[in-house]
Chains A and B, each alone.
Chain A
Amino acid sequence: MQTGSVQADAVRRAWRAALSVVVATSAYGLSFGALSIAAGLDLWQTMVLSALMFSGGSQFAFIGVMAAGGGIAGVASAAMLGLRNALYGMSMRRVVAPRGAMIPVAAHVTIDESTAVALAQPEARAQRVGFWVTGVGIWLGWNAATLAGAMLGDLLGDPKQWGLDAAAAAAFVGLLWPRLRARQAIAVAAASAVVAAALLPVLPAGLPVIAAAAIGVVVGLSNWLGPTTTEGP
Chain B
Amino acid sequence: MSFVKLLKTPILLLLFCAVMLSCVKGVDLDQTEEIALTPDLQVSLLVFDVTSVDFIDKDTGEFTAIIRDTVRLEFLDDSYIQDDLSTVEFSFRYTNSFPQSFRNKISFLSENDRVQHFLQFDIAQGEKVNPVVTDWVEFIENERIDVIKRSIQMVVEIEVIPNENPFEGELKFESKGLFSFEF
Do A and B associate with each other? no
Give A contacts to B, CB under 8 Å: none
